[in-house]
Amino acid sequence: MSDRRAVSDRREAALRRLGLVPSAGDLVRVALGDALARAEAARAEEAAAPPAVVVLDAGCGRNSALARYRAHIGRFVGVDIHEPAPGALPYLDEFAAVDLCESSDAFPPATFDVVLSSFTVEHFADPDAAFANLARWLRPGGSLVLTTVNRRHPFVAAYLRMPDGLRRHVQPVVKATAADAHPLVGACNDPAALREALARAGYDDIRVVTVGHLARAWRRRLPTFVLGLVGDLLTRGVPSRRSTLVVTALIPGPDA
Ligand SMILES: C[S@@+](CC[C@H](N)C(=O)[O-])C[C@H]1O[C@@H](n2cnc3c(N)ncnc32)[C@H](O)[C@@H]1O
């Protein structure tokens, strides 16, 4: 195991000992497991539907929480505004360069059973357009699983309010590499705004859970890990102000 990985694992273990559970990752794994099981069951009931589940990682970057479910996925598509390096995302069947905030016919309506949008919403210039695209591409009864930052957390608010020039200096300190430091907008980054935007786009059964995630997100360097830990502990008892939103939503099913 690399030194960096060992440090990261030790910090994760410390957070668990401090009771900072579940993590955003834990919640996403449960949500994706449920969404995939629901999709498999729905396809099994539809005589005409091919049995294999079709998923999209919308803003797939360089990691996907869906990759661990590869054995349960028939077709795994990723989209992003940036092309990945050749061979960088071996779990994908297809990659398409798509700006989710532009009106897009990149996929036919009702293509996907499950869409994951992991820490992308904070970058969206036009979240309404992005949510409408994803809603159109989801099958009736399909699931959206989304994580993003909550500007009701004081550190997140300060980060989003920073002038672009200053933030460009800070981002590489908290991110793994400068390549992970994407421009930030934060147009609908609080629980109420996100819920309203998803409802406007036609999603149903919208569930928003908040979780402290700063220490984990910033754990690569000790000073930012400690700062993140302070941020997580500060808001631990105030759910609406925790740093991170984990959201699930459904497209109304055929019987709705
Ligand atoms: C913070 S990274 C998250 C990457 C990955 N989902 C993860 O969880 O590790 C944000 C990703 O969203 C992508 N992105 C930002 N705006 C986008 C847009 N309008 N359309 C498609 N992708 C976008 C960025 O290029 C980047 O890969």
pLDDT in tens, 14-54: 999 999 999 999 999 999 999 999 999 999 988 787 789 99
Amino acid, single-letter form, for residue 195: R
CA distances from 118 to 28, 50, 147 (A): 9, 27, 5
Residue to mutate, 80, 91, 104, 160, ligand 1, most ligand atoms under 8 Å from C-beta: 80
Give the C-alpha separation, 128 to 83, whole Å: 24
Q: Write out the two tokens for 19.
A: 């009771």
- How much is the pTM? 0.93
Residue to mutate, 23, 81, 95, 98, ligand 1, most ligand atoms under 8 Å from C-beta: 81
Give the C-alpha separation, 97 to 84, whole Å: 9
pLDDT at 179: 59
pLDDT at 230: 97
125 CA → ligand 1 middle, Å: 12
11: left (phi over 0), alpha (psi -120 to 50) or beta: alpha
Averaged pLDDT in 10-residue chunks for the chain of 256 residues: 86 94 97 97 85 95 96 96 94 97 92 98 95 98 97 93 82 65 81 98 98 95 94 96 98 83
pLDDT at 4: 86
DSSP state of 240: G
pLDDT at 50: 77
Is the shortest distance between the CB of 236 and ligand 1 below 6 Å?
no
56 CA → ligand 1 middle, Å: 13
Is the shortest distance between the CB of 8 and ligand 1 below 6 Å?
no
pLDDT at 189: 95
Return the residue whose CA atom lies nearest to atom 26 of ligand 1.
61
Is the shortest distance between the CB of 99 and ligand 1 below 6 Å?
yes
Is the shortest distance between the CB of 104 and ligand 1 below 6 Å?
no
pLDDT at 16: 95
* Among the listed residues 124, 145, 126, 125, the one whose alpha carbon sits nearest the alpha carbon of residue 206: 145
Is the shortest distance between the CB of 61 and ligand 1 below 6 Å?
yes
pLDDT at 180: 61
pLDDT at 92: 98
119 CA → ligand 1 middle, Å: 7
Atom of ligand 1 nearest to the CA of 99: 20
Q: Tell me the CA end-to-end span of the chain in Å, nearest whole number.
A: 50
Given a contact cutoff of 8 angstroms between Cβ atoms, the answer to whether 52 and 75 are in contact is: yes
